[in-house]
Chains A and B, each alone.
Chain A
Amino acid sequence: MGLDQSLIGRSYPPSEVYEVSRAKIAEFADAIGDTSSLSRDAEAARAAGYPDVIAPPTFLTIANLGAIDALVSDPELGLDYDRMVHGDQSFVHERPVHAGDRLEVTTHVDSIFARAGNDFLTLRAEIHTDGGELVCTGRAQLVVRGEQ
């Protein structure tokens, strides 16, 4: 197996627009046990200077999964989803995500290398509004475990 290193630098065009809802933010906050009023109460969020309720810092894992899907569905890349694990993840936020944001993800393959029989791929997800404003950059290292 082994991933094709000539695919370093490949990018995938923006996904469909994902519209962030108050309900999804509250649902995500509940799922990680985050009880902040800023993720549930629009008035509290506005009082803190935000346009609407804001998402917890890892909420954009939803967009990141979209980026992983873009890679997994590229036959030339040939990522074996069943053997893939999440090696690392980072988010650099330009501003918090808030309800009403209309987000798109552009996915880039930043690196591919093999080590000790495993393949390592780093993807960069540029998460921006449909108006082109960069909101967050997510980076994930995906590890594809070699056949034992």
Chain B
Amino acid sequence: MTIRVGDELPPLSVRVTRGDLVRYAGASLDFNPIHFSDRVASEVGLPGVIAHGMLTMGIAGRVVTEWVGDAGRVLSYATRFTRPVVVPDDEDGALVECSGTVTAVEDDIATVSITAKFEGRPVLGKATATVRLT
């Protein structure tokens, strides 16, 4: 398969529930209560419990790892956290929609620009990964 600038990676839509936040808190050891307590979230001025930015980054990274088929080929991955993903206390949770586009190919390394949206608006800024293609 030849990879070219402009190629779109298969998109990914993921529902994030409160249960997912609890699971991620335990897995990542990030127990900041803004990710599980409505009381604490509102005390610090948030609209509600929000997803860990690193969870959104992890989910969005799957656009690249599932495309390349080997997480070990990801050389770098960077993002800004521009907007919170507010996760309601219900069964549906929050829908995060991720996609990626190849923006550069040099030798054996592709650069992918990743987007992640919640309620139609980007939640990651300048999310970029570089991956080894072989």
- Show the binding face of A for B, using Cβ within 8 Å: 24, 27-28, 30-34, 36, 38-39, 48, 50, 54-58, 61-62, 65, 82-83, 85-93, 95-96, 139, 141, 148
Cβ proximity bits B21-55 to A, threshold 8 Å, 1 near / 0 not: 00110111110000000000000110000000111
Contact A92 B71, beta carbon cutoff 8 Å = no
- Show the binding face of B for A, using Cβ within 8 Å: 14, 20, 23-24, 26-30, 44-45, 53-55, 57-59, 61-62, 64-66, 69-72, 74-81, 125, 129
A28 to B62, CA, bound (A): 13
Which residues in B have their C-beta under 8 angstroms from that of A65? 28-30
Which residues in A have their C-beta under 8 angstroms from that of B20? 31
Q: DSSP class of A's interface residues: helix, strand, loop or mixed?
A: mixed
Contact A33 B59, beta carbon cutoff 8 Å = yes
Contact A31 B81, beta carbon cutoff 8 Å = no
**Closest CB-CB distance, A31 to chain B, in whole Å?**
4
Top 10 closest pairs, chain A to chain B, by CB: A90-B78, A32-B58, A31-B27, A96-B72, A88-B80, A57-B74, A31-B24, A58-B58, A28-B27, A61-B54
Contact B76 A30, beta carbon cutoff 8 Å = no
Contact B80 A58, beta carbon cutoff 8 Å = no
Chain A, residue nearest B31 (CB): A65
Neighbour of A56 across the interface among B53, B61, B69, B78, CB < 8 A: B61
Which residues in A have their C-beta under 8 angstroms from that of B30? 61, 65
Among A34, A48, A139, A148, the one with the most B-chain Cβ atoms within 10 Å of its Cβ is A34
Contact A58 B61, beta carbon cutoff 8 Å = yes
Which residues in B have their C-beta under 8 angstroms from that of A28? 27-28
Contact B76 A54, beta carbon cutoff 8 Å = no
Neighbour of B76 across the interface among A85, A87, A93, A148, CB < 8 A: A93
Contact B53 A86, beta carbon cutoff 8 Å = yes
Which residues in B have their C-beta under 8 angstroms from that of A27? 26-27
A88 to B66, CA, bound (A): 23
Contact B77 A91, beta carbon cutoff 8 Å = yes
User: Are A89 and B53 also in contact (CB < 8 A) when A31-B20, A32-B62 are?
Assistant: yes
Which residues in A have their C-beta under 8 angstroms from that of B55? 31-32
A9 to B20, CA, bound (A): 37
Contact B23 A31, beta carbon cutoff 8 Å = yes
Contact B27 A89, beta carbon cutoff 8 Å = no
